[in-house]
Amino acid sequence: MSVLRRAPRPPVTQVRGYRVLVPGTLVVLALATALILVVAIGVLVGVVPTRGGRGDAALSAHGLSLASSLVIGVFAVSVVRRYLQRGGTHLLLWGTGLVMFGIVGVTELISTFGWYPTVFRLWYLCGALYTAAWLGQGTMYLLSRRRRLAVGTMLVLLGASLAAAYLVFAEPLNASAFDPRTPLGVQFRAVLPEGSTVRKLTPVFNIYGTVTLVGGALYSAWLLWRKEIAPGRVVGNLLIAAGGLSLALVSTLARFGAGALLSLAELIAAALMFAGFLLATARPVSAALARRVAP
């Protein structure tokens, strides 16, 4: 997601710490990303354990899935409410992507109680394929200056999404490999056949979604920072980018067997993007107010 560039230009604020705020935020986000990388690499090499025990793993999956579902639910309601108030195709697409993101958390929670083929298929379809791509498509509609480009990519995404849904629901699953005490992000490789076509489509959807979502947020943050406009919106866009990157990173690692971090990454990504959305869409502080509160 990214800040609403089509809205009227907010008043310029002469806040003393502006030039320090944005670089400082970038440093914090870089450190957080480095921490995620260190933990993820530790999982891959076996230094960081992926599960403490059967019961603990189930309890952890319950808690993380429930927490992420609640955060995403509130986030989705906020976006849909804004769409109903102001309109905008980008908001509608973001809301659609967030609903899909919410389905991921709900299906993860349901799967801790037993094997349900439809639930697993929805988890993979919405999580591995849809969420990032549809959120990124919302950013494409917002930032694209050419209407034909936005409409064209939307039609391609819609067609690809329908094809992916057919493939996911037609793919035979290995139900005997499922264990309700193991997170879906860990065991999906055993449940879903290795050579399935739908698994080959996953990188295409995720790369498109990550590039448009994260790239659009960073581009908007750079434009606002260069013009010294609305520092809150700059930080908001950076938080959105950080959320998208954290989810993309751990989703990629899940393909290599580090899926135990996926539920935690979903919660972190949802919280970061929600906070970023609130900052990016907040009314900017006026110049007069900034001078009044300045020391």
Residue 260 lies in a domain: yes
Residue 84 lies in a domain: yes
| pLDDT score for 215 | 87
Residue 241 lies in a domain: yes
Distance between CA 151 and CA 218 in Å, rounded? 23
Give me Rg for the CA atoms of the chain.
20
Quick one: which H or E segment has residue 225? helix 197-227
pTM reported for the whole predicted model: 0.76
pLDDT in tens, 94-117: 999 999 988 988 998 898 888 999
Which has the closest alpha carbon to 161: 120, 131, 191, 184?
Answer: 131
Domain extent, residue 165, equals 18-42+54-282
Kindly state the DSSP code that residue 10 receives in the 8-state scheme. P
Residue 223 lies in a domain: yes
Residue 198 lies in a domain: yes
Which has the closest alpha carbon to 276: 244, 235, 247?
Answer: 235
Is pLDDT of 295 > 60?
no
CATH of the domain at 91: 1.20.1070
The total number of structural domains that make up the chain: 1
Residue 5 lies in a domain: no
Residue 203 lies in a domain: yes
Which has the closest alpha carbon to 283: 241, 219, 230, 216?
Answer: 230
Residue 161 lies in a domain: yes
| pLDDT score for 148 | 87
pLDDT in tens, 156-208: 999 999 999 999 999 999 988 898 888 888 788 888 887 788 888 888 898 89
pLDDT in tens, 7-52: 444 444 444 455 555 555 665 565 555 555 555 555 555 545 444 4
| pLDDT score for 28 | 59
Residues in the chain: 295
pLDDT in tens, 213-261: 888 888 887 877 777 667 778 888 888 888 888 777 777 766 665 666 6
